[in-house]
């Protein structure tokens, strides 16, 4: 087996036999494994529909013990596996490349404990992020992360990618918010690091090995997470601006004026918002200009006093207007309006797929070169087949998502983009992945954001945790030549 587009060969793994299937049937029962090729299809394809694996077996364990038994067997038989949660990952880390066995975590979805006073939630890895959010709201808490995929992504998938999202600006990333983890190693051993204390400095912090390692070092089965109080007041400002320079000035003003209540600061260029308007039929709430604005910002505040927060946000917007930073804006705290505004931003990822094939880049850049990359790419690729080259993202975290869409995959467009964009980002002292991870797509470029000594240590850890390399092969670390 060779993946033609990716020019790579299958690793030296065993091929699934009938005896293997019988073993898993006896372990899980026939209704918790899938062998039908049609039913396997959705597990084989990634969300952006860019990589297709050929797995013929999906396992659905319901407990840590079952995950452990599956991995122990696979390790002994040298069967490669691909851990999968909501399959919303954007770097093809969650789908098989060849015939790896998919271990789907969807059925491990129990909430185990909610400590209201300490604000600590303990749950199985297969809980849907939105379900956790809804559950916590009933006790006045919230999840410290929020992202457009919340209706489908599972907390174990989020932890395994160290997902960022639209609240990172306020609450920080999962390396800080995850207190403890239970995970299963490749050989089936269970690592109980399910700490629930906020402070616990007793030696190595092993949980970090599993946060962001994209299923290459173990399968996360349980998570304990620090949850902030649910804010009583949420206000949103949606702004239209004429230039990126004014976006930066407005961001600076927002930091100064909104201080501790600022909970999100997102930006979109015109072509990004067009995805929601033209591809998804949503409405732009800013109507003063028929032809819209060059840039948009979504600024959210969360706090405990509605009138106080409202006053602060209005005063910030007034200052932005009087300084001539913004062309138009709307403020709201009505739930439906807030949700509609957020949808304009959060559905870009889904809507752009209607253009055809999308090259997605998820990069960190210093503010001095944040939007420059979009301009550079537009200059480099002036090709009539290109539908759009656009930039949007988590401005407050220095993370821009660049999307280049074309009707279908063209090799020559791909060649103009890569390695160019990754080398460009590296020259600007940025990161080739701000939040989506390396997955299958960026293994060749890891050295542009990690030193050779770091990469050596990563190979060493992989060898120690998974000596037979059965866990999510072809992902994160390229095969050593």
Q: Is the backbone of residue 372 left (phi > 0), alpha (psi -120 to 50) or beta? A: alpha
Give the distance, in angstroms, between the CA of residue 279 and the centroid of all CA atoms in the same chain.
22
Give the integer Cα–Cα distance in Å for 6 and 18: 30
CB of 402 closer than 8 Å to CB of 390: yes
Q: In what side-by-side order are the strands of the sheet with 233-241?
A: 328-332, 233-241, 295-303, 262-269, 388-394, 399-406, 357-364
Q: Site map for ligand FAD, 345-374, x if CB under 6 A?
A: ----xx------------------------
DSSP 3-state assignment of 375?
A: helix
Residue of 105, 141, 234, 374 that binds ligand FAD (CB under 6 A): 105
Any contact of residue 148 with ligand MLT (CB under 6 A)? yes
**Smaller CB separation from ligand MLT, 94 or 221:** 94
Give the integer Cα–Cα distance in Å for 31 and 25: 8
DSSP 3-state assignment of 360?
A: strand
Any contact of residue 462 with ligand FAD (CB under 6 A)? no
Q: Which does 360 bind (CB under 5 to 8 A by kind): ligand MLT, ligand FAD, none?
A: ligand MLT
Residue of 220, 227, 273, 425 that binds ligand FAD (CB under 6 A): 220
**Smaller CB separation from ligand MLT, 235 or 349:** 349
Site for ligand FAD in 434-453 (CB under 6 A): 435-436, 439
Q: Site map for ligand FAD, 310-349, x if CB under 6 A?
A: ---------------------------------------x
149 backbone dihedrals φ, ψ, rounded to 5°: -90, 15
Nearest approach in angstroms of CB 371 to ligand MLT is: 16
Q: Which does 279 bind (CB under 5 to 8 A by kind): ligand FAD, ligand MLT, none?
A: none
Closest CB to ligand MLT: residue number: 349
How is 77-110 classified by DSSP, letter by letter? HT--EEEESSS--SSS-SS-SSSPEEEE-TT---
Residue of 163, 258, 268, 365 that binds ligand FAD (CB under 6 A): 163
Q: In the beta sheet, which residues pair with residue 471?
A: 81
Site for ligand FAD in 180-219 (CB under 6 A): 214-215, 219
**Smaller CB separation from ligand FAD, 85 or 325:** 85
Structure token digits, residue 239? 């702004």
Q: In the beta sheet, which residues pair with residue 124?
A: 222
Q: Is 12 exposed, middle or buried (0-12, 13-18, 19+ CB in 10 A)?
A: exposed
Nearest approach in angstroms of CB 43 to ligand FAD is: 10
Say what angle helices 306-322 and 244-258 make with each other, to 10 degrees. 140
**Smaller CB separation from ligand FAD, 10 or 380:** 10
Any contact of residue 349 with ligand MLT (CB under 6 A)? yes
Residue of 53, 61, 89, 180 that binds ligand FAD (CB under 6 A): 89
Q: Site map for ligand FAD, 142-161, x if CB under 6 A?
A: -----xxx---xx-xxx-xx
Structure token digits, residue 33? 């494994």
Any contact of residue 146 with ligand MLT (CB under 6 A)? no
Residue of 207, 360, 388, 475 that binds ligand MLT (CB under 6 A): 360
Q: Site map for ligand MLT, 99-118, x if CB under 6 A?
A: --------------------
CB of 177 closer than 8 Å to CB of 112: no
Distances in whole angstroms, Cα of residue 329 to Cα of each of 294, 313, 464: 13, 12, 54
**Smaller CB separation from ligand FAD, 89 or 430:** 89
How is 143-161 classified by DSSP, letter by letter? -S---TTTTT-BHHHHHHH
Q: Site map for ligand MLT, 71-90, x if CB under 6 A?
A: -------------------x
Any contact of residue 119 with ligand MLT (CB under 6 A)? no
**Smaller CB separation from ligand MLT, 173 or 468:** 173
Residue of 401, 441, 442, 462 that binds ligand MLT (CB under 6 A): 401
C-alpha dihedral sign at 298, 300, 306, 311 = negative
Nearest approach in angstroms of CB 287 to ligand FAD is: 27
Instruction: Please give the helix or strand (H or E) that residue 336 lies within, else none.
Output: helix 335-346
**Smaller CB separation from ligand FAD, 46 or 309:** 46
Q: Which does 401 bind (CB under 5 to 8 A by kind): ligand MLT, ligand FAD, none?
A: ligand MLT
CB of 440 closer than 8 Å to CB of 44: no
**Smaller CB separation from ligand MLT, 349 or 472:** 349
- Cis amide linkage into residue 464, ω under 30° from 0: no
Distances in whole angstroms, Cα of residue 237 to Cα of each of 262, 330, 393, 395: 11, 6, 16, 15
CB of 462 closer than 8 Å to CB of 478: no
- Which spans in 34-86 are helix H? 37-44, 64-77
Instruction: Please give the helix or strand (H or E) that residue 272 lies within, else none.
Output: helix 270-274
Q: Site map for ligand FAD, 40-59, x if CB under 6 A?
A: -------x------------
**Smaller CB separation from ligand FAD, 159 or 262:** 159
Q: Which residues bind ligand FAD (CB under 6 A)?
A: 47, 82-90, 93-94, 105, 125, 147-149, 153-154, 156-158, 160-161, 163-165, 214-215, 219-220, 349-350, 435-436, 439, 472, 475
């Amino acid at each position: 087996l060779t993946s033609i587009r990716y020019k790579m060969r299958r690793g030296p793994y065993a091929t699934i036999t009938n005896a293997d299937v019988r073993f898993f049937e006896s372990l899980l029962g026939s209704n918790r494994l899938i062998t039908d090729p049609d039913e396997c299809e959705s597990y084989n394809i990634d969300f952006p529909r860019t990589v297709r694996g050929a797995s013929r077996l999906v396992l659905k364990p319901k407990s840590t013990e079952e995950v452990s038994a599956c991995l122990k067997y696979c390790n002994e038989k040298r069967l490669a596996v691909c851990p999968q949660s909501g399959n919303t990952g954007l770097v093809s880390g969650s789908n098989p490349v060849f015939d790896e066995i998919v271990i789907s975590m969807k059925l491990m979805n129990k909430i185990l404990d909610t400590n209201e006073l300490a604000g600590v939630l303990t749950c199985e890895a297969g809980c849907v992020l939105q379900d956790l959010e809804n559950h916590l709201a009933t006790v006045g808490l919230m999840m410290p992360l929020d992202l457009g995929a919340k209706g489908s992504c599972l907390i174990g998938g989020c932890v395994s990618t160290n997902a960022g999202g639209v609240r990172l600006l306020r609450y920080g990333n999962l390396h800080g918010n995850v207190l403890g983890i239970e995970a299963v190693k490749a050989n089936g051993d269970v690592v109980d690091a399910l700490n629930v204390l906020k402070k616990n400095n007793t030696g190595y912090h092993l949980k970090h090995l599993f946060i962001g390692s994209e299923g290459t070092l173990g399968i996360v089965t349980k998570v304990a997470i620090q949850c902030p109080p649910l804010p009583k007041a949420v206000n949103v400002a949606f702004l239209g601006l004429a230039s990126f320079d004014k976006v930066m000035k407005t961001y600076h003003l927002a930091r100064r004026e909104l201080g501790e209540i600022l909970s999100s600061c997102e930006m979109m260029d015109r072509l990004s918002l067009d995805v929601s308007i033209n591809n998804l039929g949503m409405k732009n709430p800013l109507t003063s200009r028929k032809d819209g604005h060059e840039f948009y910002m979504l600024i959210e505040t969360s706090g405990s006093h509605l009138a106080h927060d409202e006053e602060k946000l209005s005063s910030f917007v007034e200052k932005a207007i009087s300084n001539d930073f913004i062309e138009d804006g709307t403020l709201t705290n009505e739930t439906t309006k807030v949700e509609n505004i957020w949808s304009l931003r959060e559905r870009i990822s889904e809507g752009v797929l209607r253009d055809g094939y999308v090259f997605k880049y998820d990069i960190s850049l210093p503010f001095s070169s944040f939007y420059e990359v979009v301009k550079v790419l537009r200059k480099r690729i002036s090709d009539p087949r290109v539908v759009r080259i656009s930039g949007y993202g988590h401005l407050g975290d220095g993370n821009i998502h660049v999307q280049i869409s074309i009707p279908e995959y063209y090799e020559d467009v791909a060649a103009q983009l890569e390695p160019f964009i990754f080398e460009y980002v590296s020259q600007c002292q940025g990161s080739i992945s701000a939040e989506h991870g390396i997955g299958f797509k960026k293994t060749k470029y890891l050295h542009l954001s990690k030193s050779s000594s770091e990469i050596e240590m990563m190979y060493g850890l992989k060898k120690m945790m998974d000596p037979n390399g059965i866990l999510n092969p072809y992902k994160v670390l390229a095969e050593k030549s």
